[in-house]
Amino acid sequence: MEFQYTAAEQQFRDKVRTWLTENTPRDKRPVDGMPMREFDMAWQRTKYAGGWGGVAWPKEYGGGGLSLIEQIIWFEECARAHAPTLGSLNVTVSHAGPTIAVRGNDEQKSFHLPKILKGEVFWCQGFSEPGAGSDLAGLRTSGVVDGDHIVINGTKIWTSHAHLADYQETLIRTDPESKRHRGLTWLIIDMKTPGIEIHPIDTMSPGARHYCQVFYNNVRVPLANVVGKVNDGWSVAMSTLTFERGSTAAAQAMDVSQAVEDLIVLARERTGPDGRRKAIQHDDIAMRLATHRAEAAALRSMLYETVSRNTEGPMAGAESALTFLLCGELMQSVRETAHDVLGANMLEVSGEFEDWTRHFLHDRIYMIAGGTAEVRRNIIAERLLGLPRSY
């Protein structure tokens, strides 16, 4: 394990820092709907124009072809610069694109990957169903091969941003006789295909209707949109989940680390709960901030350690469950400490501290989406600690 950056990596960091200083948008990011989509896609286009559209993506599709360590440095510097995250383009750039890059055929790669990197398209993920979330292999949305098409019927739920999306990465059951992981197919669906109905779901996040239930009524999708082979979608989906839990957790780890530092600054500036001393002079708050900082450092170390052992490939599945879990827990606890530092300002739905309020309500999803905390613990127990299966 080597935690020192090389001279070349330091130079890379300087280059990233300079570019972000000059190019990070300072306009407020809209939190919903088409304005949010447009903001996130415009930032992706800016990054692409600067050569940062896909730092670790293959060069042949417009990516930077850089190492995972350089990708981590990129995430660190983005967090430090308070640059926008991928936001609503997370599915598009973090896992739909990378899945097609490693599992798609040449036609799929050359059609989809440049559009993704150039910020021209928006994807959503249609994996979960009512009754098939943690138990993804229990999914029932069906696909029947009819000539050179697959005809889809069923429903997906919690599909983030389906109402804004151009394409969907979808997992369906194409062999009705099959059990569990067999008989599934990973498919690209054009969201304008007739027979798709999208119903947004309200949540407690202020102003946000990000999540949808999607219904498929005899939706005809060309067989050419199958990624991998018909009935072999489970292994493709595992690639998707590895990307989702790996690179998403890496970006989130850097963001939550920066949030801890931002909160420490606020605690130094603001009057604490007793109305007299600064928030940081309250022992309980100081103790929690110190713990958050130590946990953030541990989280980053786990990430560096995983990356330093896996420089040639994606971040390992089982280990990413560990970082994903710690990251989700830290996000919750930092937002809770923010409550005590910001006091009544945590009730703001607009104003200087609205982002803290929104994160407090929204970030609960990080213990559910992409695999719940219990499921991550199961993976850690079974695959890292070698304990018996829980079910």
Ligand X SMILES: Cc1cc2nc3c(=O)[nH]c(=O)nc-3n(C[C@H](O)[C@H](O)[C@H](O)COP(=O)(O)OP(=O)(O)OC[C@H]3O[C@@H](n4cnc5c(N)ncnc54)[C@H](O)[C@@H]3O)c2cc1C
Phi, psi of 81 (to 5 degrees): -85, 0
Residues 6+ apart with CB under 8 A from 10: none
* Count of residues near ligand X by CB under 6 A: 23
Shortest spacing between CB 10 and ligand X, in angstroms = 37
Element (H, E) at 73: helix 68-80
Nearer to ligand X, 120 or 374 (CB): 374
Nearer to ligand X, 325 or 375 (CB): 375
3-class secondary-structure state, position 373: helix
Instruction: Return d(Cα 60, Cα 292) in angstroms, integer.
Output: 41
Alpha helices (H) in 183-282, listed in sequence order: 233-269
CA-based torsion, 154, 158, 160, 164: positive or negative: positive
If binding is defined by CB under 6 A, does position 357 make contact with ligand X? no
Shortest spacing between CB 369 and ligand X, in angstroms = 4
If binding is defined by CB under 6 A, does position 128 make contact with ligand X? yes
Nearer to ligand X, 165 or 289 (CB): 165
Nearer to ligand X, 81 or 381 (CB): 381
Which residue, judged by CB position, is nearest to ligand X in the bound state? 133
- CB neighbour class for 42 (10 Å; exposed up to 12, middle 13-18, buried from 19): middle
Other beta carbons less than 10 A from residue 379's beta carbon: 19
Instruction: Return d(Cα 188, Cα 107) in angstroms, integer.
Output: 13
Q: Please select the residue that binds ligand X; options are 159, 174, 242, 247, rule is CB under 6 A.
A: 159
Shortest spacing between CB 318 and ligand X, in angstroms = 16
Structure tokens at 240: 């998707």
**Please, are residues 99 and 141 in contact by the beta-carbon 8 Å criterion?**
no
Catalytic-labelled residue, pool 77, 169, 244, 295: 244
Q: How far is CA 24 from the centre of its chain?
A: 20
If binding is defined by CB under 6 A, does position 375 make contact with ligand X? yes
Using CB under 6 A, which residues numbered 98 to 127 contact ligand X?
A: 124-127
295 is catalytic: no
If binding is defined by CB under 6 A, does position 133 make contact with ligand X? yes
If binding is defined by CB under 6 A, does position 374 make contact with ligand X? yes
If binding is defined by CB under 6 A, does position 52 make contact with ligand X? no
Q: Please select the residue that binds ligand X; options are 160, 193, 281, 345, rule is CB under 6 A.
A: 160
If binding is defined by CB under 6 A, does position 94 make contact with ligand X? no
Other beta carbons less than 10 A from residue 89's beta carbon: 23
Nearer to ligand X, 301 or 390 (CB): 390
Using CB under 6 A, which residues numbered 294 to 353 contact ligand X?
A: none
Of 319, 148, 342, nearest in space to 249 by CA: 319
Instruction: Return d(Cα 94, Cα 238) in angstroms, integer.
Output: 14
Nearer to ligand X, 126 or 183 (CB): 126
Structure tokens at 350: 């607009």
Shortest spacing between CB 325 and ligand X, in angstroms = 12
For helices 283-309 and 317-342, angle between their N-to-C axes, nearest 10 degrees: 160
If binding is defined by CB under 6 A, does position 174 make contact with ligand X? no
Shortest spacing between CB 138 and ligand X, in angstroms = 9
Residues tagged active-site: 244
- Contact residues toward ligand X (CB under 6 A) are 124-128, 133-135, 158-160, 211, 365, 368-372, 374-375, 378, 390-391
